[in-house]
């Protein structure tokens, strides 16, 4: 009994994922702490755009990796383990492409051809790894690795080495950024904003801190600048807004608010600042097929990619069960929740 008590005391105790305020820490899942302690690797430099390096090739079925996305993996294939350990030691990136073969073709264990792989992919670097079972205490060792997407590329040709590893000659794709608005159209000074912003914040939050006022004042200034830029543009204002970074960011925040029930100001603060990161952030979260994700990944202009991803997000209005049966519309979902909350409040009053 004493030994059991000592073992219980020494065993780790899982703590609830709640802070002092009772809120869940949403940053924990992105850290992938369930992988355990990994050996951190040094950051590798970015490849120059439109260069043609030859990189080790990693083919993943049913998986599209975007730049900035973290990919955790448990690898048991000896050739893949050797390749990942080699690129981590030499501080080189690995080229990740999507294997487009069916399940029956994957069971044949044959090497894929260039036509059976996606035309575009993403380079990735090894940010952490750990080898387990090397002392032969298990049936076979496996490698726990964490990859981070870096740059887009187009696959030109593949090479099959004698040791079973695959390499590919790729072209690093550029990010064609749109030119910023004229410098004369600077953000409006705070004196142009009315007191309606403060009244709205007090009505929503009950109390407003200087930091909250500063954040929302910044968002209001940015949107005001967009309206001025649109009025001075030769094209119609609605066409200008479709290619305006601040307007697109606000639309993504509004859709995020509808999806998770978060306030629009809070959703806007959690989004990436630049258009490139925001387009990748939204593209990898869409519940779409691999072909549609590859289509988004092949777009060179981040603004166009963000417009396309936002159009897909706005079209996801209906919720279906796994069996294909219609459940409800997205616009009606929170309406039912509010009605249920009012019903519970009335029950407590009675």
What confidence score (pLDDT) does residue 197 get? 42
Q: Is 17 inside any structural domain?
A: no
The predicted-structure confidence for 323-338, as pLDDT tens digits, reads as follows 767 776 665 655 555 5
- Choosing from 172, 189, 222, the residue where a domain stops is 172
| 155/262 same-domain check | no
Is residue 245 pLDDT above 60, yes or no?
Answer: yes
Lowest mean pLDDT among 104-108, 124-128, 287-291: 104-108
What confidence score (pLDDT) does residue 308 get? 92
Lowest mean pLDDT among 40-49, 108-117, 246-255: 40-49
| 262/302 same-domain check | yes
- Choosing from 132, 148, 172, the residue where a domain stops is 172
| 197/116 same-domain check | no
Report the C-alpha gap between 308 and 304 in whole angstroms: 6
| 166/39 same-domain check | yes
Q: Is 16 inside any structural domain?
A: no
The half-sphere exposure of 225 on its side-chain side, counting CA atoms within 13 A, is 20
Q: What are the angstrom distances between the C-alpha of 153 and each of 25, 119, 268, 284?
A: 35, 9, 30, 17
Tally of domains in the chain:
4
What confidence score (pLDDT) does residue 208 get? 43
| 55/119 same-domain check | yes
What confidence score (pLDDT) does residue 39 get? 55
Tell me which DSSP letter residue 233 carries.
Answer: S
Is residue 10 pLDDT above 60, yes or no?
Answer: no
What confidence score (pLDDT) does residue 191 get? 40
Q: What are the angstrom distances between the C-alpha of 346 and each of 332, 335, 340?
A: 21, 17, 10
Q: Is 3 inside any structural domain?
A: no
Q: Is 13 inside any structural domain?
A: no
Q: Is 154 inside any structural domain?
A: yes
The predicted-structure confidence for 259-301, as pLDDT tens digits, reads as follows 555 554 445 567 888 889 999 999 998 888 899 999 999 999 9
Q: Which residue has the tokens 């940010």?
A: 127
- Choosing from 233, 254, 279, the residue where a domain stops is 233
CB burial class (10 A; 0-12, 13-18, 19+) of residue 11?
Answer: exposed
Bridge partners (DSSP) of residue 95 are 57, 123
Q: Is 72 inside any structural domain?
A: yes
| 56/104 same-domain check | yes
Write down the pTM of the prediction.
0.67
Asked whether the beta carbons of 93 and 149 are under 8 A apart, the reply is no
The predicted-structure confidence for 163-204, as pLDDT tens digits, reads as follows 778 899 999 999 988 776 554 444 444 443 344 444 444 444
List the one residue out of 284, 289, 299 whose CA is nearest residue 100: 289
Model confidence at 235, in pLDDT bands (50, 70, 90)? low
| 156/207 same-domain check | no
Looking up residue 311, the CATH number of its domain turns out to be 1.20.58.1480
| 107/195 same-domain check | no
Model confidence at 95, in pLDDT bands (50, 70, 90)? very high
Lowest mean pLDDT among 23-32, 196-205, 337-346: 196-205
Q: Is 268 inside any structural domain?
A: yes
Looking up residue 152, the CATH number of its domain turns out to be 2.30.130.40
Please give the average per-residue pLDDT across 144-159, as a whole number: 92
| 99/121 same-domain check | yes
What confidence score (pLDDT) does residue 42 get? 56
Q: Is 10 inside any structural domain?
A: no
What confidence score (pLDDT) does residue 296 get? 95
Distance of CA 126 to the CA centre of its chain: 18
| 312/326 same-domain check | no
| 260/203 same-domain check | no
What confidence score (pLDDT) does residue 125 get? 92
More confident residue, 63 or 252: 63
What confidence score (pLDDT) does residue 196 get? 41
Model confidence at 76, in pLDDT bands (50, 70, 90)? confident
| 53/70 same-domain check | yes
**What residue numbers bound the domain in which 278 lies?**
243-316
């Amino acid at each position: 009994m004493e030994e059991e008590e000592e073992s219980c005391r020494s065993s780790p105790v899982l703590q609830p994922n709640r802070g002092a305020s009772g809120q869940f820490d949403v940053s924990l899942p992105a850290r992938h702490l369930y992988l355990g302690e990994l050996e951190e690797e040094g950051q590798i430099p970015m490849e120059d755009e439109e260069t043609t390096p030859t990189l080790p090739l990693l083919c993943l079925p049913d998986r599209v990796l975007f730049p900035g996305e973290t990919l955790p993996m448990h690898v048991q294939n000896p050739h893949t383990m050797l390749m990942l350990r080699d690129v981590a030691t030499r501080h080189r990136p690995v080229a990740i492409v999507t294997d487009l073969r069916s399940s029956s073709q994957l069971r044949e264990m044959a090497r894929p051809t260039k036509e059976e792989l996606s035309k575009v992919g993403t380079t990735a670097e090894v940010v952490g790894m750990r080898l387990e079972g090397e002392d032969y205490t298990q049936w076979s060792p496996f490698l726990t690795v964490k990859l981070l997407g870096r740059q887009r590329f187009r696959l030109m040709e593949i090479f099959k080495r004698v040791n079973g590893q695959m390499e590919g000659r790729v072209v690093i794709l550029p990010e064609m950024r749109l030119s910023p608005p004229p410098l004369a159209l600077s953000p409006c000074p705070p004196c142009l904003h009315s007191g309606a912003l403060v009244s709205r914040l007090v009505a929503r939050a009950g109390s407003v801190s200087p930091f909250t006022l500063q954040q929302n004042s910044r968002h209001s200034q940015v949107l005001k600048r967009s309206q001025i830029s649109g009025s001075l543009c030769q094209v119609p204002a609605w066409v200008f807004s479709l290619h305006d970074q601040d307007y697109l960011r606000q639309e993504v925040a509004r859709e995020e608010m509808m999806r998770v029930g978060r306030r629009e100001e809070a959703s806007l603060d959690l989004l990436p600042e630049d258009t490139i990161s925001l387009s990748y952030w939204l593209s990898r979260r869409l519940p779409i097929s691999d072909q549609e994700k590859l289509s988004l990944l092949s777009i060179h202009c981040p603004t166009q990619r963000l417009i396309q991803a936002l159009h897909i997000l706005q079209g996801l209005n209906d919720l279906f069960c796994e069996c294909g049966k219609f459940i409800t519309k997205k616009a009606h979902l929170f309406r039912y929740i509010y009605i249920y909350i009012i019903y519970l409040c009335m029950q407590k009053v009675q």
